[in-house]
Amino acid sequence: MRVSQLTYALSLGGLISAAKDALDHPGDACAALAAAFPLDVAYPNTALYIQASNYWSDRQGEVHPRCFVTPRNTEAVSKVIKILTSRNALFTVKSGGHTAFAGSSSIANGVTIDLVYLNAITVSADRQTVSVGPGNRWINVSETLDPLKLAVVGGRVADVGVGGLLLGGGISYFSGLRGWACDNVRSFEVVLASGHIVNASPIANADLYWALRGGGGSNFGIVTRFDLASFEQGDMWSNYRIFPGALNTTLIPRFQSLTVDGLPNDPAAHSYLFLTYEPPRGGYIAVTSFYHATVPSPPESTPSVFAPFQSVPGAIDSLTLVANMSTQSRIPGIPYGSRQTWWDTTVSATSASLLLDIVPLFEASNKILFAAANGSSIVPFLIFHPIPVNVITAMQQNGGNTFGLKPSDGPLMLVQLATSWEDARLDALVEESSRQLIANIESMAKKRRLYNGFVYMNYAGSTQQVQRRYGKNNERKLKRIARKWDPQGKLARLWRGYFKL
C-alpha cells in the first residue's frame, strides 16, 4: 500500500469510527422512541411534558429536553436504553427530581427518561423486604408501610425521590441503628447499557451491588427495583427548637458532645442542627432537630439523650410531635420554586471549637451574598449532620459501601451548605462563594488535623469530585466495575448529569 493509500485508509477508518461515534440528533432519538412507545413520549407544549418538567430546584426545571420518555416497566426501560445507546443519543434519568443543580437529572436537547411509572411497592409475605420502584417518592413508601407498622431506612422528607436518595447514600431517621439507606438495600434490579436486566446483591453480581451503594447510578445502569430491608416500626418522636442564632455558641458544643457520646449510646436517636438567616425572626436562627425511633413515656417528655438541650434557655419556638413516618416526613423540607445549590465536606467531630469557628466563616460569606442580592431573596443554610461511630459501624454491613469510611475515622461531622435564591444573575456568585467556603472549612480542618474530606454525593456541589473523596482505591475500583458492566463506555458518554466517574 502506497503512503497516500495508507493515509486514505487511515482517514477513512477515522471517518467510519467518527460516524459510529457521532451523536444522534435528539429529534431522531425521540422519533425512534415514539415509534416504539407511541403513548409514552412527551414533546414540548403538551400536558405530559409540563407535568414531567416538575423539578424541586428551578435550575433543573428550566433545562428542557427534546422529549421525555416514560417507560412503564423494566422491559420498556431495557428497550429505551437499547434505542438510545444504539443511536448514540444523549439522555439523562429522573426519579424524584430533587437534585439542586441544572443537568443533574435534566438535559438540554437530549432525552429525559422519567421513571415516574415504575411506582410499584410490594411487601414480602414475611414482612422482611419491601420492593420499591424508583418512580416513588418516600411518602408513597411510608403511606404503604405505616398501616402495616413497618418502615425502611429511607428519606426523611416526603416528596424526595427514592432513586437518587438510595443510589447516593441516604441519611435516614433510622441510620443510628442501621446505617444509611444504601446499606439496607438487599438487592437491585438493574438495566445495563446493553439493555440486559441483571440483579445485584451480596450473592449475585456482588461487585455491582457494592458499586451501587454510593457510587451513583448514572455510571452503572438504570435501577428499576430496590429490594429494601424492612423492620417493625410504630410512631416516632420528634422535636424541633428554634433559637436565636447567637445561641450557637451554647448549642454547638452540646451538639458536638451529642455526636461523640450521646448518639452512639442511644442509636435509636437521630439529629441534625442548622443555622440560617430569617429576617422576620430577627436575623440568624439556630434550629435543633431531634428524632427518636422509640416514643418516650410520657410522649411529651424528651428522651434523655437530648436532655442537655432542654436546659438551654431562650428558644423562640418549639414543636414536639409523636406520629407515624408519613406525618413526620411532611414536617421538614424546602419548598419548590427557588434556585438551589448544595456543597458539603466532612470533618472530625472531636472538636467543638472547629465547628464553632465555621460559623463566622459562614456569616462572612453570607454578607457578600446579601449585598449582591440587593434585597432579592437569598436564604443560606449551614447544616451539621453527625456521622457518629455507630453509623459508620452499621455502614460495614453487606461488605461495606463505597464511601471508604471506617469506624476508626469517626466520629465525623458532615458539614453541608445549602442556599436557596431567586435571582438567576446570582448563580455564579453563589456557586463560587459555596466552593470557597467549603475550601476554607477544609483548610481550617487540615491545619488542626481534623480533616476527613468525605463528600456526600447527595449534598455535593456540581464540581465536587465525589468519588475521588472515597479514596483512590475505591475510585479505581468503581471505574473498573463501570467498565466491566458497560465495556463500550456508553453510559459514560451518553448519560449526562450528576457525578460521573
Please choose, out of 94-102, 260-268, 305-313, 437-445, the segment that lies near ligand FAD by the rule CB under 6 A.
94-102
Residue 399 has which C-alpha cell? 461488605
- Residue 301 CB, shortest distance to ligand FAD, in Å, is 25
* The length of the chain, given as a count of residues: 501
Q: Which of 53, 95, 142, 341 binds ligand FAD (CB under 6 A)?
A: 95
The DSSP call for residue 455 is -
Check residue 65 for interaction with ligand FAD (CB under 6 A).
Answer: no
> 289 near 271, Cβ under 8 Å?
yes
- Residue 268 CB, shortest distance to ligand FAD, in Å, is 17
Looking from the CA of 181 toward its CB, the CA atoms found within 13 Å total 27
Residue 380 has which C-alpha cell? 443560606
> 120 near 150, Cβ under 8 Å?
no
Residue 448 has which C-alpha cell? 488542626
Closer of 111 and 354 to ligand FAD (Cβ): 111
Residue 453 has which C-alpha cell? 474530606
- Residue 446 CB, shortest distance to ligand FAD, in Å, is 26
| Distance from the Cα of residue 107 to its chain's centroid | 18
Q: Of 40-59, which residues contact ligand FAD (CB under 6 A)?
A: 56
Closer of 189 and 354 to ligand FAD (Cβ): 189
Closer of 450 and 452 to ligand FAD (Cβ): 452
Q: Which of 71, 170, 176, 215 binds ligand FAD (CB under 6 A)?
A: 170
Check residue 102 for interaction with ligand FAD (CB under 6 A).
Answer: no
The SS3 call for residue 465 is coil
Contact letters for ligand FAD, residues 126-155 (x by CB under 6 A): --------x--------------------x
Closer of 66 and 94 to ligand FAD (Cβ): 94
Q: Which of 167, 177, 460, 481 binds ligand FAD (CB under 6 A)?
A: 167
- Residue 29 CB, shortest distance to ligand FAD, in Å, is 17
- Residue 306 CB, shortest distance to ligand FAD, in Å, is 19
Q: What is the dihedral of CA 252, 257, 262, 264, to 10 degrees?
A: 110
Q: Of 208-267, which residues contact ligand FAD (CB under 6 A)?
A: 217-218, 222-223
Residue 235 has phi, psi (to 5 degrees) of: -65, 160
The SS3 call for residue 116 is coil
Closer of 216 and 354 to ligand FAD (Cβ): 216
Closer of 244 and 333 to ligand FAD (Cβ): 333
Check residue 98 for interaction with ligand FAD (CB under 6 A).
Answer: yes
- Residue 162 CB, shortest distance to ligand FAD, in Å, is 6
Closer of 180 and 450 to ligand FAD (Cβ): 180
Which secondary structure element, helix H or strand E, spans residue 102, and what is its range?
Answer: none
- Residue 333 CB, shortest distance to ligand FAD, in Å, is 5
Does residue 45 come out as left (phi exceeding 0), alpha (psi in the -120 to 50 range) or beta? left
Q: Which of 33, 52, 69, 93 binds ligand FAD (CB under 6 A)?
A: 93
Q: Of 323-362, which residues contact ligand FAD (CB under 6 A)?
A: 333-334
The SS3 call for residue 304 is helix
Residue matched to cell numbers 441544572: 102
d(CA 54, CA 159): 12
Concatenating the DSSP letter of every residue in 165-208 gives: HHHH----TTHHHH--GGGGEEEEEEE-TTS-EEEESSSSSHHH
Closer of 174 and 354 to ligand FAD (Cβ): 174
Closer of 221 and 411 to ligand FAD (Cβ): 221
3-state secondary structure 308-325: HHHCCCCCCEEEEEEECH
Q: Which of 163, 214, 388, 411 binds ligand FAD (CB under 6 A)?
A: 163
Query: How close are the terminal C-alpha atoms of the chain, in Å?
Result: 42
Check residue 108 for interaction with ligand FAD (CB under 6 A).
Answer: no
Which secondary structure element, helix H or strand E, spans residue 438, and what is its range?
Answer: helix 427-447
Q: Helices in 271-338 by DSSP H: which ranges? A: 307-310, 325-329
Please give the size of the binding site for ligand FAD, defined by CB under 6 A: 35
- Residue 314 CB, shortest distance to ligand FAD, in Å, is 28
d(CA 130, CA 232): 12
Check residue 168 for interaction with ligand FAD (CB under 6 A).
Answer: yes
d(CA 181, CA 199): 18
Closer of 351 and 397 to ligand FAD (Cβ): 397
Considering only CA atoms, which of 490, 478, 496 is closest in space to residue 193? 490
Check residue 104 for interaction with ligand FAD (CB under 6 A).
Answer: yes
- Residue 311 CB, shortest distance to ligand FAD, in Å, is 28
Residues that bind ligand FAD (CB under 6 A): 56, 92-99, 104-105, 115, 134, 155-157, 160-161, 163-165, 167-171, 217-218, 222-223, 333-334, 458, 497-498
